[in-house]
Amino acid sequence: MLPRKPVARRNPGRYLDRVEYAAVSAWLPAILADFAGTPAAGWDVRLIDFDPARPGDVVELIPDIDTWVIPTRPSAHRLLLRTADVTGKSFVNEKGLDGFADTPEDMAVEIASTLQDHVMDHLNTTWPEMVVNGRTVVLEPRLGPDGMPCWKHRLTDPIPFGHLRNRIT
């Protein structure tokens, strides 16, 4: 179930707390539903709550984790997005999400944007597209006027995350 309203930051600063990690994770099924029918449907997409005090927890997924995740606060968890092409084994990408957004909704937009970039790279074209008044436009993940994540172009109404597949060409 998706959050009904934006979740305010509990701890201002660079890192999210555990409650906010759960709120970000709640968006992942809706985000992935929007990518059905794209190359991302065959990818392993994971959010990883990385505890710098326990790097061994993720070393199997990210063998060199200790070389690139350098916490400024050793007690702070980091949110990582791992995307891997499990069908063709053509790429694995890990991205630290902390510092890109202030709220879980902003992070959901960042996750969708990252996946959109990977899909466009894979397809070698823009995605997702929608025809508006005879003109093809590319939608982008954004926060809507209500503060909720959506797909948007200046010529379209916001399409909430989880509802894109029914609206694009």
The pLDDT tens digits for 45-95 are: 888 776 666 655 655 565 555 555 555 555 566 677 778 776 655 666 766
Q: Among 61-70, 125-134, 149-158, which is the least confidently predicted range?
A: 61-70
- pTM of the model as a whole: 0.76
Instruction: Give helix then strand counts, H and E, for the chain.
Output: 3, 8
pLDDT at position 17 over 60: no
Give percent of the chain with pLDDT exceeding 90.
37
Better pLDDT: 165 or 94: 165
User: Based on the number of CB atoms within 10 Å of its own CB, is 135 exposed (0-12), middle (13-18) or buried (19 or more)?
Assistant: exposed
Mean per-residue pLDDT, 88-107: 70
**Cβ neighbours of residue 67 closer than 8 Å, sequence gap 6 or more:** none
For residues 47 and 70, what is the distance between their CA atoms, to the nearest angstrom?
A: 18
Output the pLDDT for position 168: 82
pLDDT at position 8 over 50: no
**Confidence tier at 124 by pLDDT (50, 70, 90):** very high
